[in-house]
Structure 1
Amino acid sequence: MRLPAQAHTGRPWLIHEIAPDFRLEDVWALPAHGGRHDFPRLVEAFDTLPFPEQAPPPVRALWAARWTLGRLLGWDDPSSAVGARVPSLRERLPAGVEAPVDDGALPGTPFTTVYVRPGEYAAELANETVHAVLHLGWVDDGGAGHRGQLAVLVKPHGRRGALYLAAIKPLRLAVVYPALLRLLDLRWRELEDQPSR
């Protein structure tokens, strides 16, 4: 379910401190519910999500078209990645918050982890169109447990980046996010059914 911006901006996340120049693009409630200490399972679910490989054919086709277009137009050249065109948000982390050694975050995508802390996770990517952040949070649901929440923050690169984000928004909202959430629900249940490690 899509959430209002306040569901993200109204919480004291570290991401607000290190990415104040990014715009909040989307906020979603995730199909992940559990106890106070279950957030690491949500991070694992994202890090092992079979996306887009097991997404419906329209999503896989969109994904393939995006990477083909990016290759043809040079959008995903290594010179435009995090650490090349733009510095990593890891460089903005306050003292005492260390970036993980593992660069996980959605295998098969160029996302790299910025930080993981109790109840909060951030990963980033950059290309010729945008510098983007995927943010996961674990929030008290007001009842007996907690739930996952996803936010996407963006910093478009110029007019071309802003136009690109506007062009893909309808597809992202109607096709990509619903498929991602369905796969996350399945992955969450699989991990829930596994014996404790």
Structure 2
Amino acid sequence: MTRLGTSAYTGLPWRIHEFTGDFQVEDTWAFRTPGAGPGDFPVMLAAMRERGGLANQPAPVRFLFAVRWKLGAIFGWDKPSAGVGARVASLRDRLPADLRDAPRGPDSEQLPLTPVYELGTEAARELANKTVHTVMHLGWAPRPDGDHELRMTVLVKPNGLFGRPPSHRSATWSSTRP
């Protein structure tokens, strides 16, 4: 897994660019897939689903997620009333007509992300709570050596006061003071 610059996501003609202009790129990562060809993205997604889920992640990752979900429960960040379709409209509502008819991809008990769409070379899932609306974009990108690699980009849009970085919180707070 290699961390990439933002241009590794923005420089490719992904369909998701058409309706996520108000989101910011948080991170982009490449996952090497030696020998993978142009049509192997569905195979990669199937392998990820089979291997995926939090239970199959390393102990430090499971611990961090457990802490985050516990904090979310304590502070009420993750209530259904704060999620996609409630407090935040789903990205599915923004999709161009041809993408609305595309497969969404299967729901997963193992992931808290809701499928938005799934194509032959890219897929998107979203999650929202009281702090952020986030999108996980998976894309199948050609490499200079002729192989293809999986790229995962996390897009974020603050959702509420605690979703903004500290500099934005103080600016918002100071601008609303009497």
TM-score by structure 1 length? 0.76
Tell me what 1:3 maps to: 4
Deviation at 1:103, TM superposition (A): 4.0
For structure 2, the residue ranges without an aligned partner over 5 or more in a row are 167-178
Which whole-Å deviations, capped at 9, do the CAs of 1:41-71 have from their partners, x for residues lacking one? 2222333333321322222111111111111
Deviation at 1:117, TM superposition (A): 1.1
The answer to whether structure 1 residue 32 and structure 2 residue 33 are counterparts is: yes
For structure 1, the residue ranges without an aligned partner over 5 or more in a row are 165-197
- Helix, strand or coil for the counterpart of 2:61? helix
**Is residue 22–residue 157 contact of structure 2 (8 Å, CA) maintained in 1?**
yes
What's the % identity of the aligned pairs? 47
Tell me what 1:191 maps to: none
TM-score by structure 2 length? 0.84
Distance 2:134 2:47 in 1: 20
**Is residue 113–residue 126 contact of structure 2 (8 Å, CA) maintained in 1?**
yes
**Is residue 28–residue 152 contact of structure 2 (8 Å, CA) maintained in 1?**
yes
Amino acid across the alignment from 1:24: V
Tell me what 2:54 maps to: 52
Q: How does 1:156-175 map to 2 (within 5 A)?
A: 156-163=158-165
Distance 2:16 2:52 in 1: 26
- Aligned-residue Cα RMSD (Å) equals 1.8
- Asked which structure has the greater CA Rg, the reply is 2
Distance 1:99 1:82 in 2: 19
Deviation at 1:102, TM superposition (A): 4.6
Q: How does 1:1-197 map to 2 (within 5 A)?
A: 1-33=2-34, 34-97=36-99, 98-100=101-103, 102-104=105-107, 107-163=109-165
Amino acid across the alignment from 2:163: G
